[in-house]
Structure 1
Amino acid sequence: MTTAAPELLFYKQACDYRIALFSQSFALTNVFRISRGAKTQAETLVVVISDNNHFGWAESVPYARYQESIASASTQLITAITQNNTLAKLKQQAAKHVSGAASNALNCALLDLQAKQQQKSVQQLLALKNAKPCVTAQTLSIDTPSAMAKASQTLAPAPLIKVKLNNQNILEKMTAVHAASPKSRFIIDANESWTVDDLTANDHALSLLNVDLIEQPLPAGNDQALAELSLKVALCADESCHNLESLNNLNNLNNLSELATRYNAINIKLDKTGGLSQAVELMRAAQAHQLKIMLGCMVASSLAMAPISLLSPYADFIDLDGPVLIKHDRAHGFDIKTGMMSPLNQQLWGGVESSAQAINLLSQAKKQAK
């Protein structure tokens, strides 16, 4: 299966804007395995919006771990759209109806549209530093030790490799991966699958294998034991940290100050924060608490990576290799070679000229909706 054509989910001509929702599947180059399961394609949600002169668009990935799907996210968006018939109202009121991946797609599409309307890039609108070529992690999914070592060799000499690991044969797999690419630094992503014993038993050995960071070793809401540990390898909150508002809703976790007693870093993903605007807020707050910043993504096209790539000048770790994992990326996507990632091409998203891809999609939607 190659990249599927976008499937129209919804189209509306409102008072002063047009908007369309699409689902689109991207076939993966290889099976992608994490502790929670495996997949062979990425399912994405695309929003395209226009004020009839300018066009904005964005892509998100609803995530089953957070009880999201293409259907549930699009339902949220349709509710927001049908109840807000002007662009101003949609911007002001949408937050009441959307969250997570739905919020991300709408927020980033509106930012892209605003850049065109005001003839200022999104980087300028948000007063962000200029992004430069940067090191991004490249991901190894869970497999046998020998298969993971072979996959690691194909990435060498990648400067940073992210290794998906459940709690089975942790040290054996990591030793094999390190031996295959001994000059690389490593991030381990446990996806909530480890225990405290797994951490304490393997911490020292992992530190000797160039492991700089372990993402979310314990389940979110059940990670308070981390505050009592003294480890050599730094810990990063992923599922335990979505956005500033959600911290108050997680069990046994009240704010960033408390999060900082358990973790050394946070992984900012736009599908968790609800968009780039919220990601900037979270990043600033985390920096004030001396938490390191990691930028992460779901598996998707370069369009999904585009907004968060603007935060790369502020990040300690970058993991935006989603486009490398799919067979066919969008036009004007990121160039990622040997772990180096190019800056955003504003022909894709975030610049002052409307994307030809976005214009074509909305035109198709209008024809299909007749």
Structure 2
Amino acid sequence: MTLEAIRYRPGSLQILNQLLLPHETVYDEIRSVRDGYEAIKSMKVRGAPAIAIVGCLSLAVELRAGMGGNDLVCFIRDSLCHLTSARPTAVNMGRAARELMEFTENESMEKNTGRVKSSSCVIGWIEEMLERDVNDNKKIGNYGAQHILSGVPRDSVTILTHCNTGSLATAGYGTALGVVRSLHALSRLKRLYCTETRPYNQGARLTAYESVAEGFPATLITDSMAALAMREKGITAVVVGADRVVANGDTANKVGTYQLAIAAKHHGVPFYVAAPSTSCDLSLESGRDIVIEERPAEELTSINGVPVAAPGIDVWNPAFDVTPHQLITGGIITELGVFLPSELQAALTGRLTAL
């Protein structure tokens, strides 16, 4: 079974409203770029790959409805600019916007009109994103599983993960949770430990939900139990996702990832980051250059609308933190293979040169 977070057919887009999970399964209709922006901003949809896919598909829905008029290039550019501003830390939406805009402009130049007469080619480019993402995720899962198993040839493995990186965060299969899925398919997954991921509880609400639905042997722990779990529960590896990986291998991921990497280093547990190449941003030299999104205070002071903090307390609520590349000891798992942070830039540059 694979959970379906994005339902798309030409002209129709529905997303699983992840704010209501695990208690309600509701699909919201996305009829416009504005709807796509609001779904991303409010975190009805989240996960760097899914953000880019839903954002671009919301544009495809409008294009199929005939929006854009005579100046499609301008309409597409404005729409993508708006979508990119919804959540700044995840790089996938920005990368997809740049690539789609380049494709659109090339189409207009080839026709020698300065305009795109038909939106069909742009729609086709967007719709292919779904299949590309699933294929990339399966490669990530297989590469990551084999790399982890190479260190334990005969044993089953115990994985610790953070936040949600499965079908709910992608077009399907998942990145870090895709590695878990591949291990489970090989009958080599002994147990998955997932953190609750405060303050938004993506681990408790979403990863635990996926684990039960997929039949993974899984255990939910609080964020504060992670170091203890590494010491007491025989954790083979920590595998997390990423919203942005920069040139030196520093990685932005859900807040709480940095402390997991520190704890893993102390306990000698390999620490892996699983992310598609679309999450890699070689334009930034280090994690110091990553813009970190800050979320509303209410996400920390309340749980499901119920206040849990003293009224009037100041709140700092960054959505992400940056893990220095020195702590990524297992490697960075991509659809191209598993690389040490020091190897990643050359690997990605080589791919771009080949293309």
TM-score where L is the length of structure 2: 0.31
* Structure with greater contact order relative to length (CA < 8 Å, sep ≥ 6): 1
- Larger helix fraction of residues: 2
TM-score where L is the length of structure 1: 0.30
